[in-house]
Structure 1
Amino acid sequence: MMYTEDSIAKWQKDLRIYRGIKSLFLIEGNVHDIYPRFTRTEHGYAVSGFSPLSHIIYDTLNESELNPSYDFLYCNPVSGLYNPVLEVDIEPLLKEFAGQSTRYARRDNEGISYQYVVDDPLAVSAFVKTALTSNRRALKESERRPVAVVLSFASRYLQSPSHLSERETQFFMNLQVACLEARRINSLRSALFLLVDKVNDLPAWFYLNNPQAKIITIPVPDRKARGVFIERNFGLPPHEYRSGRLADITEGLRTLELRQLHSLAGENATGPGSIENAVALYKYGVKESPWESADLTERIRASEAIIKGRVIGQDRAVKKAVDVLKRAVSGMSGLQHSSSSSKPKGVLFLAGPTGTGKTELTKALAERLFGDERSCIRFDMSEYQQPHSDQKLLGAPPGYIGYESGGQLTNAIKERPFSILLFDEIEKAHPSILDKFLQILEDGRMTDGQGNTVYFSECVIIFTSNLGTFRSVRDKYGNVSKVPTISVDDNYETVERVVSAGVKDYFTVELGRPELLNRIGDYNIVVFDHIQEQAAMDIAEMKMKKVVESIKESRRIDVCVLEAKEYFLEQAKQERDKGGRGIGNMIENLFINPVAAYICDNSLSPGSTVRLCWCPKLHELSITHVDGRPR
């Protein structure tokens, strides 16, 4: 397979461009991976394999293996000085550049041959300084080459970049002088390569305003780079490779992880879909994704009627939410986007009056999707109102309180990657948290405070909100109060129009983040209606039935409510403006509390029957019983 120049990563091109020109390369980011080794041919570029960064640097500077342009030395704080590419004895170079006071000892191991350990890090920096600034006149002209020194784990040579000890300052001064005074030999400048996780792990004065410094950032492989490895190693049929499906679902993985995934797929091959299952196993530790369950489609197909029986009076909202799930189950979520496979399976924004069933719908969806409503992980966003609350949710950075414990959201998704994430009353969260959702909704992943990547591509994200149901009004004294924008007498079309407009106004005008609204999608905004009279009566009847069944099961006491039923249903209609919770509170106050007190006061035994009766003339609820004790 031949590749074009476009297949080569920018950082590799930068290495080639500045080869022999710059004398200090600070390479950060994904420095512990493996990378394609591109070789030029008359028809383009071929990939001869995948190698660590040490080999890529060597290949880039020495384009000819038979006649290398540079002599190479590699160094790290543990292994000392060595050459992992050629595995040749570097002692001649040590003798050439090491001062008489520098002590070093050979220590070979199974991984690295001809390894020399220097007893003092400061001596290492002095050695580097000599190597880069030497004109090497003692050598034959045919042997004179510039020197390239590669320091891995360079940040481990110091404790803190902002508080250097005297010896650490001298260490980096030696390196700085080495780069500023690096010699040109055969028109190529000697060079120092420092490999770090982040360039700010090094003292800023070392590289800022340094004309010889070039900072190169290696990103996690993009879709094109992953495609190169997949094409060469996974042996996919041409149509599967062209579809790019595997490149999509491995978003965020490094090339080394792709190699591990390839091994895992070979060990756990199960026929069709084995690659997808291997990805799920690698990312989440499960052999088969719940989204691939054979009966999931059937469960979702039957969900609408079942959920309508649980979330009463919200038929239009239930239908819209189930439609979004059907799209997710069929694998069609986000197909209009360029990177649909990495996005969450589905996104819903449930808006409307309080107590209308938004949380209940979320639990019902979790039960239908994953077989357990506990797969709904709820976050009360009123707990994340402070400016640094994002650290509580996603994890504190190193050095801050709470770093070791991680973030509440990232920990939860690691434990239960197949779940529904419910962010309750999202408008109460600090705006900085909303910024994080941009990446989660777009990329389906997030890096926590500890540097671990967590994936959201197998979950459904649901936001709930009361936005649009109230508006702020300022009186003539400057006091701000909230007044309702909708009433229980409004029809659903009015409620939907007013609430939807309020949600959009909040994101676009008040927050100034229309891009977040775009990530959610207009269709995914589901507006709940006020509880209508018939729905209020149905909710009250359902709750009373639950109470009666619970008393029967726990106390073996029958409760007959038939003669008082109309009274409770009428009370439910009066409470409907408070939503389902208001109706529940009414049932507790007027039904549960009197019955509980009566059972306790009369020491009713199992087998007894409690009868409730409403007398309209006296406007009074009476409770009587038939004792269950044998006479």
Structure 2
Amino acid sequence: MAENKWREELDIFRKIKPCIVLEGNVFDRFHYEKDPAQRMRELSSYILRFLSDAGYDIISYYDDASGFYGDGYGDDIAKFEALCHNVPSVRIQNDRIPCAFSDDNSSIGEILSSVLGQTHQAVAVIMDMASRYIVSPDNMSKCEVNAYANMMRALRQAQDVQVNGDYTKNIVILLVNKVNDLPVWFYLDNPDVKTIHVSTPDSSERMEFISGDNLRNFFDSSVWNEDISSFEGDGQAQLIKLQKRFVGLTEGFTYSDLVGMRKLCINEKYRIAQLPSVAEFYRYGVRENKWAKISGKTIRSLEDSLHSRVLGQDHAISKVMRTVKRSVVLKGNGNRPRGVLFFAGPTGTGKTETAKALAEYIFGDVSCCIRFDMSEYRQDHSDQKLLGAPPGYIGYEAGGQLTNAVRNNPFSIILFDEIEKAHPSILDKFLQILDDGRLTDGQGNTVYFSESIIIFTSNKGIIEEVEERSPNGIVRIVNRQLLDPKKNSTKEVEDAVTASIKNYFKFTLSRPEILNRIGENNIVVYDFIREKIATQILDKEIGEQLKTLENDREDHIELAPEAKLFLLSKATEDATLENGGRGIKNLVFSSLLTPLAAYIADNDISEGANIRVKRIRYDGNGDPVVDAEVLR
């Protein structure tokens, strides 16, 4: 268990090392098992009680603002002062010994040398808030360097002291957020310093927190008395499922968080069956779980909408819907995302449109589709844009684009477009998202992905970037088409694209573990827009574009067969189909809507007219124009 592990290490190394750095979950509160009051203690108070029980005679706290001080109950600070009789500046003032860490007159080194170097009494100094003694470990003033150098000198003088028939070290314990808040040269390869990580409660500890009598303490007494009978006997299995779901949702939470959730549960009179909802509300600050509102009717409507909005991709949509249905039904996925999909295939085939449709139907708003163009993250430092800059760097206050977006809207579709264009180092972040379901930004805030669907898109296997050298020696990057809709069948496209993606992760990146987290079964391959489907998309786009014009002006637009035939011939050309449905949409806009608008403007046609487009042709400049007439 996490707490026992670090406590066990502390008990072992207090006898060996004069300096122990405790880093990680140092702001949490902990239950000291020998405390009859069963209260939660701050880490500094916990350590004081632990060291006192271990036989230490004098234990002093220290922080930069207050200096050295005791716990307020004994005379430790007076005993501590007596050990510093050879340091002239030591004086007790208001039960404290003032001592700034790194000013010109700092006596921190002398004081520590005095108390650590004697053998009469076992002494421990707990240095609280040690991450805040200096501004930056990478840009230290001379006074700050001297303070740490004097501490190192004092540690070398630390003596063994006999306690209860055994020997222990006079020790200094530093409590820091992260060990690299200290200067590297102070702790790295320093035989006098041991670093111990204080973890958040592991799954077994979190389960213990809501088991037995502890579970009863989670609920208002009236709620408990009303609900518990339904979870006895055959209902016991359901109660265990609720507890396991709660444990999964609280991965990475501190003891303080668990205590806070217990208070929330009691104050808001949550029912026992709502135990997982307490964690969701505590994490996201919203009561409404959008997943819980999805009905079978919603799923059927989504599937029908996808088939009508994304034409020619029935096989891909079927795979998408399997993931969606699993995401709705299977709730106990811990912190990991509700679903993961990898959309691959040619451009303009409906990958982004599918993601938007999922956001609209599952979460009620297309704006819940959060898109990141990964071509903007090609540099090795691009992860700072996603997660936020570290402390001291420009942009630190703004946070990260990804972490901010998920924190503001945890119920969302997160679309990482053209993932292969991102710098490989960023893929490590995706590994953490897919595995742990959480990310910590540059400010130290953690966001969770447990209510989102993650979608990656890629053109791997369809196009590849190659270098092309011009006759004058200039090198540029161009895209080369690897597959041809006229030569490769739908099955050949799917096999080739899937194989290319696997090879990319396994051999090009040498990161098969990322593909394993995504899941090969979650690769969804979109086919080329072939001629038959191009006709359907053309009809759909003509209808939508003309409807927009008719709504704006209340006109009625009629398309003659010759005009439609012109559009159809252009829609099925290779140059158009290379851009898929997006190419057909652009064709309708440029070859029908734009010249029609010009015709209406040039002829000063009033709103509400009945216009017949007889044909579309190119003028002398190669621009499309319409021959039309107004029907009276």
Q: TM-score, normalised by structure 1?
A: 0.86
Paired residues of 1:19 and 1:61 also in contact (CA < 8 A):
no
Q: Indicate how the Cα distance of structure 1 residues 626 and 503 shifts in structure 2: closer, same or farther if over 3 A, else same.
A: same
Alignment of 1:34-433 (within 5 A): 34-38=29-33, 48=38, 50-63=40-53, 68-84=55-71, 87-99=73-85, 101-102=88-89, 104-107=91-94, 115-118=95-98, 120-121=100-101, 122-136=106-120, 145-186=121-162, 187-231=167-211, 233-235=214-216, 239=237, 240-241=239-240, 244-271=244-271, 273-293=273-293, 295-331=294-330, 340-433=333-426
Q: Indicate how the Cα distance of structure 1 residues 494 and 59 shifts in structure 2: closer, same or farther if over 3 A, else same.
A: same
Which residue number in structure 2 is paired with residue 601 of structure 1?
602
SS at match of 1:611: strand
Paired residues of 2:58 and 2:80 also in contact (CA < 8 A):
no
Structure 2: 5+ residue stretches without partners: 219-230, 618-623
* Counterpart Cα distance in 2 of 1:195 and 1:33: 12
Which residue number in structure 2 is paired with residue 568 of structure 1?
567
* Counterpart Cα distance in 2 of 1:281 and 1:473: 49
Q: Indicate how the Cα distance of structure 1 residues 210 and 550 shifts in structure 2: closer, same or farther if over 3 A, else same.
A: closer
SS at match of 2:396: coil
* Counterpart Cα distance in 2 of 1:7 and 1:381: 37
* Counterpart Cα distance in 2 of 1:47 and 1:523: 53
Q: Deviations over 1:590-618 (max 9, x none)?
A: 211221111101111122111012499xx
Which of 1, 5, 18 is the equivalent residue of 2:13? 18
SS at match of 2:196: strand
* Counterpart Cα distance in 2 of 1:408 and 1:298: 34
Paired residues of 1:8 and 1:38 also in contact (CA < 8 A):
no
Aligned Cα root-mean-square deviation (Å) = 2.9
The structural deviation recorded for 1:520 is 0.8
Paired residues of 1:149 and 1:191 also in contact (CA < 8 A):
yes
SS at match of 2:352: helix
Paired residues of 2:2 and 2:200 also in contact (CA < 8 A):
no
* Counterpart Cα distance in 1 of 2:606 and 2:491: 52
The structural deviation recorded for 1:440 is 0.8
The structural deviation recorded for 1:74 is 1.1
The structural deviation recorded for 1:250 is 0.5
Q: Indicate how the Cα distance of structure 1 residues 424 and 26 shifts in structure 2: closer, same or farther if over 3 A, else same.
A: same
Q: Which amino acid aligns with 2:249?
A: I
Paired residues of 1:15 and 1:60 also in contact (CA < 8 A):
no
Q: TM-score, normalised by structure 2?
A: 0.86
The structural deviation recorded for 1:361 is 0.8
Q: Once structures 1 and 2 are overlaid, which stretch shifts more, 545-554 or 356-365? A: 545-554
Q: Deviations over 1:100-127 (max 9, x none)?
A: 63354544xxxxxxx4151544234433
* Counterpart Cα distance in 1 of 2:594 and 2:286: 47
* Counterpart Cα distance in 2 of 1:95 and 1:433: 53
Q: Once structures 1 and 2 are overlaid, which stretch shifts more, 460-469 or 179-188? A: 179-188
Q: Which amino acid aligns with 2:392?
A: G
* Counterpart Cα distance in 2 of 1:486 and 1:500: 13
The structural deviation recorded for 1:465 is 1.1
Q: Deviations over 1:334-371 (max 9, x none)?
A: x7xxxx31111111111011111111111111111111
* Counterpart Cα distance in 2 of 1:292 and 1:573: 44
Q: Deviations over 1:352-404 (max 9, x none)?
A: 11111111111111111111111101111111112211111211112222212
Does residue 458 in structure 1 map to residue 451 in structure 2? yes
SS at match of 1:546: helix
* Counterpart Cα distance in 2 of 1:331 and 1:429: 31
Paired residues of 1:541 and 1:569 also in contact (CA < 8 A):
no
Which residue number in structure 2 is paired with residue 141 of structure 1?
none
* Counterpart Cα distance in 2 of 1:209 and 1:355: 56
* Counterpart Cα distance in 1 of 2:507 and 2:389: 30
The structural deviation recorded for 1:452 is 1.0
The structural deviation recorded for 1:218 is 1.2
* Counterpart Cα distance in 1 of 2:360 and 2:10: 53
Paired residues of 2:345 and 2:461 also in contact (CA < 8 A):
yes
Q: Once structures 1 and 2 are overlaid, which stretch shifts more, 366-375 or 469-478? A: 469-478
Paired residues of 2:69 and 2:77 also in contact (CA < 8 A):
no
Paired residues of 1:265 and 1:274 also in contact (CA < 8 A):
no
* Counterpart Cα distance in 2 of 1:130 and 1:615: 96
Paired residues of 1:347 and 1:460 also in contact (CA < 8 A):
yes
Which of 544, 548, 558 is the equivalent residue of 1:550? 548
Which residue number in structure 2 is paired with residue 31 of structure 1?
26
* Counterpart Cα distance in 1 of 2:586 and 2:2: 64
SS at match of 2:124: strand
Q: Indicate how the Cα distance of structure 1 residues 125 and 330 shifts in structure 2: closer, same or farther if over 3 A, else same.
A: same
Paired residues of 1:396 and 1:406 also in contact (CA < 8 A):
yes
* Counterpart Cα distance in 2 of 1:433 and 1:82: 46
Which residue number in structure 1 is paired with residue 483 of structure 2?
486
Paired residues of 2:249 and 2:280 also in contact (CA < 8 A):
no
Q: Which amino acid aligns with 1:175?
A: M
Q: Indicate how the Cα distance of structure 1 residues 200 and 571 shifts in structure 2: closer, same or farther if over 3 A, else same.
A: closer
Q: Deviations over 1:286-338 (max 9, x none)?
A: 11211122x44431233211211111111111111111111101126xx7xxx
Paired residues of 2:26 and 2:43 also in contact (CA < 8 A):
yes
* Counterpart Cα distance in 2 of 1:254 and 1:32: 9
Which residue number in structure 2 is paired with residue 625 of structure 1?
630
* Counterpart Cα distance in 1 of 2:324 and 2:114: 66
Q: Once structures 1 and 2 are overlaid, which stretch shifts more, 412-421 or 156-165? A: 156-165
